[in-house]
Structure formats: structure tokens, C-alpha cells
Amino acid sequence: LFSAVELAPRDPILGLNEQFAADTNPNKVNLGVGVYFDEAGKLPLLQCVQAAEKTLMGTPTPRGYLPIDGIAAYDAGVKNLVFGADSEVLKAGRVATVQALGGTGALKIGADFLKQLNPAAKVLISDPSWENHRALFTKAGFEVDTYAYYDAAKRGVNFDGMLASLNAAAAGTIVVLHACCHNPTGYDLTPEQWEQVIAVVKAKNLTAFLDMAYQGFAQGLAQDGAVVGKFVAAGLNILVSTSFSKSFSLYGERVGALSVVCTDKDEAARVLSQIKITIRTNYSNPPIHGGAVVAAVLGDATLRAQWEQELAGMRDRIKAMRQQLVAGLKAAGVQQDMSFITTQVGMFSYSGLSKDQMVRLRNEFGVYGTDTGRMCVAALNEKNIGYVCASIAKVL
């Protein structure tokens, strides 16, 4: 039965973790996967999470099945965070939100739902994009193509190219957009550029799917999330995937959500009913713990403030590491101007290093980034940054 099964290639991101774990180099540094480590190189367990867990553990609760769409308080918390508690869309009851298995799970549920709705539609992802976007939408049955995004020469966004790609797309095309902290490049659109993208999405009748996996890592929760409000204000029906993996440091809990902005309450109820079937036929219903923790934090003013503070701490430390990386590379003898690293936002730096250089970094120095040149700046610290800079200088 399985004799013809071929060995699949390693996952371009998570596969690096496996390779890293097996690496015996004592100096090894994992800048591959998008995970935040604190200044001591440790995965943080946020204080707000610990406080919420303490409260939850204080009232032991039996573990029945959750509703298919998850914990009601969680879905409400996500809605308030993503759309604003006073927003017209929430008051009108026209957003369908479901708890999902991380941002990836939200994208997959959304993709399956869209495939059922519009099977002939094409999907456009940015060039480049998060590696899993193409794989995920392809597995959902879509033909996936790209829209122009990164301008290597300019070290920024090829915005004219992006608009041209979107303008050329057929009506109904699904466009996957990074709401903030573009993965992998770290280059975001300006608010004015977003307005122009929205105008094209509207004029060409495209379907926008906003992937918001890093809300809070560029400027702050409200600023980073503002793009959602712009789409809503333009009267567009959109999909938004949310992930709390990074912002709550709850990677392994798989806490995310899919929100669909509909035309009215009745439509939202019908959409929700179909998404529930998609969930039921995939994994039945989501797990409890991570969602309960996030719901507890989002629903409590003190814990929520604490979360914002801790998130700001992560954001500020990443920014400091960017500065130190630029200075450290210069000190290590790198001639070229690397200051672009500080204009990028989020967890990653798209370094411009070639695949060969990335492979050398990994094999000779134990410094792991993706083959595309992406490095997770959020895993740098005072102890490893000198070694990383010296290693990069050698391969450059």
C-alpha cells in the first residue's frame, strides 16, 4: 500500500527545528522559526498567562467538548480586539468568529470555506510570502499565484508592482494580505498604500484574506490592527485570521481565530453555520486550555493591560536587537550598509543573504535561518548576537 510513497522534503521552517535539535555545535543559534526568546534566550511564559492560569486552576473544571466554534467568551474577546468593541460591524452582529488551531488553523478553515464557496477562484499570495501560505492554499485545492511585493534593489515594497498585480487579477480572486509585520520581509505598507490597495480590492471585486499573526509586534495592538478597520470602513466583506502564538507566547496551545465580516447578521449566521461544518469535519471542535487563558486575559482589564505591557516589552527588545545587529555587523567588518534591518518590523529580518550563504551559516557556524535569507531577530540576545554577527560577516 505505501511502497510508492515518496519521502517529502523537510518543512522549510519547522524542518529547521529538527535539524537544529540534532546539531551538536555548542554555539548554535536558531533564527529559523518565528519564535520570540527573551534576553536570557528563554521562551517566555507571560505573567498575564500565569495569572490567568492560576485563576483557572483555582476552579477545577471538567473537560467536556467545547462548542464547534469554541469558547464564546474567547470569540467575543477576539472580535473586540480585532474590530473594536464599539465598532458598527459588531453592533450589527455581522461578524462570524470561530476559535481556530492557531493562525494556520484559521487560514485552513477559511481556505476550505472559500473553496466550497468559489471553487474556481485563484489565490494570490505576496512574492515572497510565508512559506506555508502557498502550501496551505494549494492543499485546499486552489491554484496559487503571487502578486509583486518585495523590491530587493530598493529594500522595500514594490508598491507599483503590487498594485499592477492586483489590478490584473480576475474578479473573485482571493488575495492573502499580511495585516502587519510582513513575513518574511518585515516591510509593511503605509496607511496611504493600504488605502490604495483597498480601493483596488473594491474596484476589482477581489476577496481579501488578512493574515494577522503578529498583531502588536510592529507599533502596538491598535496601530497594527488598524488596517482591518480600513477594510471594514470601505464596506468590504473580508476574512481575518488571528494568531496568539507569538503575542501571548502560547505557540504550543494553538490559539487562533478566523473572523468573517459579512453584510448583515443573517448572512453571518449562515456563514458561521458553514464554517462550523468545516471545523466539525476536520477536528470536530477546538481544545480548551489556550482559548480559556486568552479569553481570561482579554476579558479582564488588569490582565489585558499587563498583556499589552508584556507585548510592548517583546516589541521593544526586538527593536533593540535590530539596532545591535546593525552595529554588530559593522563592527564585525561588514562593509555593506545593513541599516535596512532597522526599517523592517516584526520578528524577521529579510537579510538579502543568498541560499548558499544561509546554508554555509547553518553548516559551518550553526546559525539557522531559512534558505530565503530570513532570520528571526526575536531570537537574538546579548550573548549570541556577537557570534551571529561574526558568522554573517564571514559568509558575506
Minimum gap (Å) between residue 13 Cβ and ligand LMR: 4
- Residue 390 one-letter amino acid: A
Q: Which is nearer to ligand LMR, 20 or 83 (CB)?
A: 20
E strand segments, the chain: 29-30, 95-101, 122-127, 143-148, 150-151, 156-157, 174-178, 207-212, 239-243, 255-261, 348-350, 367-368, 374-376
**Structural contact between residues 290 and 250, judged by C-beta atoms closer than 8 angstroms:** yes
Quick one: cell of 300?
A: 479582564
Q: Would you count residue 216 as binding ligand LMR (CB under 6 A)?
A: no
Catalytic residue among 79, 211, 224, 307: 211
Quick one: cell of 252?
A: 504550543
* Residue 23: how many other CB atoms lie within 10 Å: 15
Answer yes or no: 246 catalytic.
yes
Minimum gap (Å) between residue 317 Cβ and ligand LMR: 18
Q: Would you count residue 157 as binding ligand LMR (CB under 6 A)?
A: no
* Residue 152: how many other CB atoms lie within 10 Å: 11
Q: Which is nearer to ligand LMR, 213 or 261 (CB)?
A: 213
First to last CA, the chain: 48
Q: Which is nearer to ligand LMR, 82 or 213 (CB)?
A: 213
Distance CA 153, CA 336 (A): 13
Q: Would you count residue 350 as binding ligand LMR (CB under 6 A)?
A: no
Q: Which residue among 132, 215, 242, 351 contacts ligand LMR (CB under 6 A)?
A: 132
Catalytic residue among 79, 108, 115, 246: 246
Chain centre distance of CA 93: 26
Q: Which residue among 20, 30, 34, 244 contacts ligand LMR (CB under 6 A)?
A: 34
Minimum gap (Å) between residue 207 Cβ and ligand LMR: 22
Distance CA 148, CA 196 (A): 15
Integer Rg of the chain from CA: 21
Minimum gap (Å) between residue 350 Cβ and ligand LMR: 12
Number of residues that bind ligand LMR (CB under 6 A): 8
Q: Would you count residue 33 as binding ligand LMR (CB under 6 A)?
A: yes
Q: Which is nearer to ligand LMR, 104 or 278 (CB)?
A: 104
Answer yes or no: 28 catalytic.
no
Q: Which is nearer to ligand LMR, 34 or 77 (CB)?
A: 34
Chain centre distance of CA 108: 13
Q: What are φ and ψ of residue 28, in 5° steps?
A: -55, 145
Answer yes or no: 211 catalytic.
yes
Helix (H) or strand (E) holding 311: helix 301-331
* Contacts (CB under 6 A) with ligand LMR, residues 168-197: 183
Q: Would you count residue 130 as binding ligand LMR (CB under 6 A)?
A: yes
Minimum gap (Å) between residue 83 Cβ and ligand LMR: 23
Name the pairing type of β-strands 374-376 and 348-350: antiparallel
Catalytic residue among 130, 188, 224, 307: 130
Minimum gap (Å) between residue 213 Cβ and ligand LMR: 6
Interface contacts to ligand LMR, rule CB under 6 A: 13, 33-34, 104, 130, 132, 183, 213
**Known catalytic residues?**
130, 211, 246
